[in-house]
Amino acid sequence: MIFGVHIIEHTLTQLITLHEFQPVICSWILETAGRHWAAERILLGSRNISNGLTIRTGIDLCSASLKQHAKERGWWDGKQVFDFAASYSAEPVTAADLEGTRQSCGTALLEKQEAGAFDANAMMAILRDHEGGICMHGGFETTASMVSEIRRVRQRLRKQDEGERQETGGGVGDGAKEHITAKHWMTGKPHPCWSEFIEQDMPS
Ligand SMILES: [Zn+2]
């Protein structure tokens, strides 16, 4: 999603990315393992999720038996800080293990974006990347792609509107009001490298 110039998040089957330039909107990453789950609140930066768990020790919310289950299975010793991805992933998740994977390449592509220049077109370009395996061909194929841009828009109020806001209790209280705008593009077919992203109408 792109919240105004603030947050950019994208979903492509197993790939989710998020970029937030100002801490004005709270975003959550939710990851599951069977009936167990963990959630992390994201206030700033970007996030790529490609084919695996990415929540580590920064858990803000989790299912009641998440840690106990990991301990019982021998995935966590109960002494070190609990690491969700390390405990619940089938494969190792150290930086060395992830080097060159779709996860690390997608993360690098997001991190090199400049905040002021990052927009929906930049997100589409990332989805068309082949070097890091983001656009997948072969045994596993990218079946469809989507980019959403969600903006929080602040609008200065005219004097009479500010009076109305104070009477009704609406707005943000500093002579401005906020509203959310959203745009969505989908390919609707495989391979964003040769498929056009078409803007879709969606109820907001
Ligand atoms: Zn491709």
Q: What residue spans define the domains of the chain? A: 2-151+181-200
Long-range contact list for 93-100, CB < 8 A, 24+ apart? 93/52, 93/53
pLDDT at site 105: 93
Region for 138 from its dihedrals, namely left if φ exceeds 0, alpha if ψ lies in -120 to 50, beta otherwise: left
CA of residue 131 to ligand 1 center, whole Å:
10
CA of residue 134 to ligand 1 center, whole Å:
8
pTM value? 0.74
CA distance 147 to 15: 11
pLDDT at site 81: 97
What b/e sequence results for 40-50 when a residue is b if at least 16 CB atoms lie within 10 Å of its CB, and e otherwise? Answer: bebeeebbbbb
pLDDT at site 25: 60
Low-confidence ranges of the chain (pLDDT < 70): 1-26, 158-175, 204
CA of residue 196 to ligand 1 center, whole Å:
12
pLDDT at site 174: 63
CA of residue 64 to ligand 1 center, whole Å:
41
CA of residue 32 to ligand 1 center, whole Å:
28
pLDDT at site 150: 80
CA of residue 69 to ligand 1 center, whole Å:
40
pLDDT at site 83: 97
